Structure 1
Amino acid sequence: MFETESPYTILPQTGPHSAEVGHALITMVEPHLGHERAYNRWYEDDHIFSGALFLPWCFAGRRWVATRDLQQLRYPKENSIIANPVTKGCYLGTYWITAGRLAEHKEWSFSVYNRLVAEGRVNDNRDHVFTAFQDKVETVYRDGRVPKDVFTLMDPSAGLILEVVDAVSTEDRDVFESWLLTHHLPSRVKVYDSPVSSAMVFRTRKPDMAMSPELSERIGKIAEAANDPSRLTILWFFSKDPREAWPHFVAEAELIKASGLGNVALVAPFISSKMGTNAYDEMLRG
């Protein structure tokens, strides 16, 4: 018999409960040199569960990896606002959070992280390159046969591209966002033989002052990367290996700049990691 006063019976009865992507945690991380395998095993054997998928309202998660050849495709090559050098950040984590439940998810997340720190279950041999909670704006699909975005992390694509873009000013972000959704993305996705199955647009959020101790020490860098007044994130999901699809993206920065509304801060391809293995550990460095 369930306890009628237990929070586990009360909380599910109130608030949003829709089957849709409302928010995301998008986190690009660089393991320290020489610690790649230990970091990889810690993250996949413990942290992806205890620090993410165990948490309420986080209903899907996936890890992605950029091997050295994929890192070399990234741009802008010089003076990247996000990654310096631009090859920094060989692992990407993406997590979907139920619409309207981000605040509750973060409260649990910060509390859990404090517990993991106390238990010595945190690997400090890594740098957060681009880590931010984000709000989904809209998804553009290639056609009606493409699965909805709620499935993108459950049945992973052959690869994805993380693209971070900035409006020319804070005041112009809404106009820039509208242009992306009504013109740019459809012209890139809804075309014959497009390698892209779907593209999701997110608004970044500034970091919370209640973030975990480890992240709070780097709050300035994380806030700069989130740049919440004018920054947007696009996740492009592919039906083929991003190496094969790369010619589709070599002109992306020029197309964005030509709009007069924004600029590219980072374009970075990834492939899905082989969870539970060390398949790519030896392919991250030059």
Structure 2
Amino acid sequence: MASVGPYGVRPGHALITMVEPHPGHEHAYNRWYEDDHYIAGAMAMPWIYAGRRWVATRDLQLLRYPAESAVAQPVTAGCYLSTYWITEGRYGEHMRWTVAINKRLNRDGRVYRDRTHIFTSFQDHQATVYRDGAAGPRDHHALDHPYRGLVLQVIDAAGPAERAELLEWLRARHLPGRLKDSPAAMVTVFRPTPLPVDRMSYVKQVEGTDTRLTLLWFLEEDPRERWEACFTGLTEAVAEPGLGRTELVAPFIPTIPGTDTYADQLR
């Protein structure tokens, strides 16, 4: 695989997975995911070159909106978020590998069952918008740079034909204005791709592959510090031009690797 094909540094694709451990299984899930699955089920695979885990404590969950979300019901579901960058142009090869290794992990009893996938999909990179122009980390640094928070925003365009118009409005008009003087250094924009038919049965097929956009806001401060000033009103802002509907705005903070910090603050 290494002798031919793309081998750049751009995050051409991402795996974004938001999961809810079942009540009473928070610590066990966290240890399984961090000690085993984060590595064997993701980082050890070809063409994944960066990853980071995030957590929403109960107070962060209660900041989420809209209440009637097409992504999470209830809107507080999904305490843990994992994000991974995949080398541009290597999605197909990576997908064949990940399906095979996850089938093996399942056979070997290394898949934790007491969890629910709330929002899990592979996604293609569409745009990155920076607050400070050429200054600061690039998008391929985003999962390695010590950002203090992340906001996941999911938007459904009015229809397949409107998604391109929505993307251009976000890239050229909406995001530059929202980023100015905000704690977010950049926003990456992705669109989901369908999961293969031979995916693991516990992961549901991706919805909105022809209409949805996923935004990751990378924050230089805790999202709680300026939530009201900077991250409320995104539903109205997207609805105003009539291009789509915001289905989720959800803040997270980074986990602390090797610890169960925050696992007792999820309920």
Q: Which of the five TM-score ranges fits, normalised by the shorter chain?
A: over 0.9
Residue 97 in 1 paired to residue 86 in 2?
A: yes
Q: Using the alignment, how far apart are the partners of 1:75 and 1:86 within structure 2?
A: 7
Distance in 2 separating the partners of 1:156 and 1:201: 20
Structure 1 residue 27 corresponds to structure 2 residue 8: no
Once the two structures are superposed, the pairs formed by residues 111-190 of structure 1 within 5 Å of their partners are: 111-143=100-132, 144-189=134-179
1:255 has 2:237 as partner: yes
Matched, 1:44 2:31: no
2:75 corresponds to: 86
The answer for the alignment partner of 2:6 in structure 1 is 16
Q: Give 1:212 deviation, angstroms.
A: 2.0
2-side partners of 1:196 and 1:93: how far apart? 19
Aligned to 2:189, which of 193, 198, 201?
201
Shift in Å, 1:18: 0.7
Output the CA distance in 1 between the equivalents of 2:178 and 2:136: 15
- Which structure has the larger Rg over C-alpha atoms? 1
Counterpart amino acid of 2:216? L
Which residue of 51, 54, 73 maps to 1:64?
Answer: 54
Q: Deviations over 1:117-175 (max 9, x none)?
A: 11111101000000000000111011122200111111231100000001111111111
**What letter is aligned with 1:92?**
L
Contact 1:146 1:198 in 2 (8 A): no
Q: Name the structure 1 match of 2:200.
A: 212
Distance (Å, rounded) in 2 between the aligned partners of 1:223 and 1:16: 26
Q: Secondary structure at the match of 1:173?
A: helix
The answer to whether the 8 Å contact 2:192/2:206 transfers is: no
The answer as to 2:206 corresponding to 1:223 is: yes
Residue ranges of structure 1 left out of the alignment (5+ in a row): 1-10
Q: Which residue matches 2:265?
A: 283
Does residue 232 (structure 1) correspond to residue 220 (structure 2)? The answer is no
Amino acid across the alignment from 1:39: Y
Cα distance in 2, alignment partners of residues 276 and 26 from structure 1:
21
CA drift of 1:269 comes to 0.2
- 1:245: how far off? 2.4
Q: Report whether the alignment pairs 1:74 with 2:57.
A: no
The one-letter code sitting in structure 1 at the alignment partner of 2:184 is V
TM-score, reference length from structure 2: 0.97
Helix, strand or coil at the partner of 2:237: helix
Q: Please report the RMSD computed on the Cα atoms of aligned residues, expressed in angstroms.
A: 0.9
How far, CA to CA, are the matches of 1:186 and 1:120 in structure 2? Answer: 47
The equivalent residue for 1:242 is 223
What SS is found at the alignment partner of 1:12?
coil
Q: Percent identity?
A: 50
The whole-number CA distance in structure 1 between the counterparts of 2:146 and 2:210 is 31
1:19 positional shift: 1.2
Q: Report the 3-state secondary structure (helix = DSSP H, G, I; strand = E; otherwise coil) of the residue aligned with 2:2.
A: helix
Shift of 1:37: 0.5
Take 1:210 and 1:22, find their aligned partners in 2: how far apart are those partners? 23
Q: What's the TM-score once normalised by structure 1's chain length?
A: 0.91
Residues 21 and 98 in structure 1, CA contact (< 8 A), matched pair in contact too? yes
2:98 aligns with 109
C-alpha deviation, 1:16, in angstroms:
0.3
Equivalent pairs, count: 265
Q: CA deviation at 1:74?
A: 0.1
Q: Matched residues in 1 for 2:91 and 2:146: separation?
A: 23
C-alpha distance in structure 1 between counterparts of 2:88 and 2:231, whole Å = 30
